[in-house]
Structure 1
Amino acid sequence: MRFGMFIPQGWRHDLVGIDPAEHWAVMRGLAERADAGPWESIWVYDHFHTVPAPTDQATHEAWALMSAFAATTSRVRLGQMCTCLGYRNPGVLAKTALTADLISGGRVELGIGAGWYEHEWRAYGFGFPDAPTRLRMLREGVEVLHQAFTTGRADFSGEFSDFDGAIFEPRSTQPGGLPIWVAGGGEKVTLKIAAKYADYTNFSGPLEDFVHKSAVLDAHCAALGRDPQEITRSANFNLLLAEDEAELGDKLAVLRERVLPHLGGETTERFLDDYRGTPGVGTPEQVAERLAERAAHGLAYTIVYSPEAAYDTRTLELFEQRVMPELG
């Protein structure tokens, strides 16, 4: 199994209490730690406002961070999980991604999805098209990105954008251009887009859901005449590791204390529900067993998010020392 980790960027209230002037130093330090360690990749989210509710806590922009990490790391690959297609013209996004890729020496991955955070869309003036419209936007945008990365040109006339001889030079040094990750598990549209264009997919949920969606992806590939083995299946997991239940309870209590002043009681409990009873939360042995089960069903790439990374790297250390060796 291959492994990536998210760098805290504020979106999930994971830089609370740290002076904003120090945020970049914290993020850069964790990126450099990953670069020197066993991780294949580092990731950021593409969002502007915090979750599960918008607050005045900082959320740092994904593609600015891509270029910054490109310039300050040397080995790890760099990704976004995932870029919201509706926030950027796909041609401008392709140029941005190719520039970051050049800075990195050919290490950028392009994660793309339809977007979902309604408050954020409306706050930034994008409106909030219905789901079918957002998915049509995604389909068009991925086609433009694919053209840009594979041919260095884009000629496309669609419902949402028109490109007439757009030039995308210099091309990436990566064979075939930047790898495209299509995120989301929508069975009729998203997975069909992935079957046609994706190098990687990203969908999570219970194991039975992962197995089902993977089978749907296989069926779409068969209809298109594409070998499904060409597409690597990935999933994201919240990660919180401890030696026993008591220590795990202590870590959840610290997390609750951090976010409670910003989210209030009810929203804080919903926030903590993202950790309770989930595959990446438990002892190292429990998490290794759960990921091994998913690997047996086709999961080849795991991306983890530690809510305490900016404050305490013990969870990352336990994962590196006692989970990754069991699966790598």
Structure 2
Amino acid sequence: MRFGLFIPQGWRHDLTDVPPEKQWETMLSLLHYADNAAAGEPVPGGPWAWDSAWVFDHFHTVPVPSTQATHEAWSLMAAFAASSQRVKLGQMCTCMSYRNPAYLAKVASTVDAISGGRVQMGIGAGWYEHEWRAYGYGFPRAGERLRALDEGVQIMTRMWRTGSSGRFDGETYQVDGALCYPQPLQTLPVGDGGAEVPSIPLWIAGGGEKKTLRIAARFAQHTNFDGSPEGFSHKSSVLEQHCRDVGRDFGEITRSADYNVVIGENQAEVDDKLAWISSHYRRYAGERGEDTINTWRTGPLVGTTEQVVEALTDLKARGMTYAIVNFANAVGDRDQIELFQRQVVPALQ
């Protein structure tokens, strides 16, 4: 199993205690910590504890919009690319409709060049209605957002692999000869012969069973959906059927999920972490914070190190081989990250 680490960027009220002039420095410190090579010091759990570092593609804080900073995802991707050496870089996940796909393909390819070939393209249909409307995107019905995802993925894939969009006349997007140079530094095998072509790995996020998972079966190298044990198994079976329907090898797709981690060496430590989370979200989100608090309390990766290892071992047996994890107070409490690295990561690798 491989692991990715979410870097606090403000979206989940995770930079609230950091002065604005210190926020980039704080994010950069955690990026370097995950990157290992740039950190200048050994990382518990081995030199390759983290395979990737991630941010979210959102503009306003959650669960309530606020004036707290939320740093923009692709600006961070470019900065992370220039400021790290080894760790892969992703967004979970870019909203297809926030940026024209031809433009987005160009941005991602440029960042891939800056990073030396480490960009991971998380992509989805989008859901946060408040920021959609606030930024003037409207809020199309789900079918329209999913059509944009389908068409956008086709355009990006074509541009990365061939250097040009060619002519594409979709219902949502129309492009004609958009060029994508530099092409990505990364390559992926295509066709029965396994010839390598330039491309960026696609992480198609979302568990919609009729459309999203079918798009994933056609185009994704990775998926990201429901991380609960029963939910993960069910979505996996739906994806497997779509793969059969489109003639895709199900085993080619890495299945991932996102997790909130609350971990301690004993239950008292876990309870202390949960108390901090409750106080924090009640302070910044009021009544709207209660659902978020409950999400942290009831997640699969909440407990002692032994309980977290047991939960991940079960998920691994179900086919979840890539976990992207988030720690509520990463900027002020790195002990949880270090504990996870020392006692959880080695048990699953």
TM-score scaled by structure 1? 0.98
Deviation at 1:210, TM superposition (A): 0.8
- Asked if 1:322 is matched to 2:343, the reply is yes
1:125 and 2:123 are equivalent in the alignment: no
Is it true that 1:291 corresponds to 2:303 in the alignment? Answer: no
The 8 Å contact of residues 182 and 200 in structure 1, kept in 2 or not, is answered as yes
User: In the TM superposition, what are the counterparts of 1:55-204 in structure 2 within 5 Å?
Assistant: 55-155=66-166, 156-176=168-188, 177-204=199-226
Q: CA deviation at 1:174?
A: 0.7
2:325 to 286, 289, 304: 304
Shift of 1:191: 0.4
Deviation at 1:301, TM superposition (A): 0.5
Mapped partners of 1:198, 1:318: distance in 2: 32
Residues 47-67 of structure 1, C-alpha deviations (whole Å, 9 max, x = no match): 000111111111000000001
In structure 2, stretches of 5+ residues that fail to align are 37-46, 189-198
CA distance in 1, matches of 2:283, 2:238: 43
Query: 1:241, CA displacement in angstroms?
Result: 0.7
Provide the rounded CA distance (Å) in 2 between the counterparts of 1:277 and 1:289: 15
Shift of 1:277: 2.3
Residue 273 of structure 2 corresponds to residue 251 of structure 1 = yes
* RMSD value, Cα: 1.0
Percentage identity across paired residues of the two chains: 54
Query: Paired residue for 2:39?
Result: none
Which residue matches 2:29? 29
d(CA) in 1 for partners of 2:292 and 2:102? 35
1:2 corresponds to: 2
Residue 306 of structure 2 aligns with an amino acid whose one-letter code is E
- Matches of 1:45 and 1:302 in 2, distance apart? 15
Q: 1:22: how far off?
A: 0.5
**5+ residue gaps in structure 1?**
none
Of 273, 280, 293, which aligns to 1:272? 293
Paired with 2:130 and 2:218, the residues of 1 have a C-alpha distance of 31
Q: Does the CA contact (< 8 Å) of 2:93 and 2:123 recur in 1?
A: yes
Letter in 2 for 1:296: A
In structure 1, how many angstroms separate the alpha carbons of the residues matched to 2:6 and 2:238? 27
Provide the residue aligned with 2:53 in structure 1: 42
Counterpart-to-counterpart distance in 2, 1:101 and 1:267: 38
Alpha-carbon distance, 1:235 to partner: 0.5
- Structure 1 runs of 4+ off > 6 angstroms? none
Residue 275 (structure 1) shift: 1.0
Other-structure match for 1:210:
232
Q: Assess if the C-alpha contact under 8 Å between 2:81 and 2:114 holds in 1.
A: yes
Deviations 1:85-136 (A, max 9, x none): 0100001111110111110000001000000000010011000001111111
Instruction: Choose the corresponding residue for 1:225, options 234, 247, 255.
Output: 247
Summarize deviations over 1:182-227 as a string: whole Å, max 9, x none. 0001110000000000000001242111111111111111111111
Q: Verify the 8 A CA contact 1:194 1:201 in the aligned structure 2.
A: yes
- Residue 246 of structure 1: CA displacement? 2.0
Between the aligned partners of 1:162 and 1:231, the Cα distance in structure 2 is: 29
In structure 1, give the amino acid aligned to 2:294. Answer: D
Distance in 1 (CA, whole Å) between partners of 2:5 and 2:290 is 25
Give the total of aligned pairs: 327
Give the distance between the partners of 2:133 and 2:158, measured in 1 at CA: 30
> For the Cα contact (< 8 Å) 2:217–2:239, is it kept in 1?
yes
TM-score, normalised with respect to structure 2: 0.92
What is the DSSP-based 3-state SS (H/G/I as helix, E as strand, rest coil) of the residue aligned with 2:297? coil
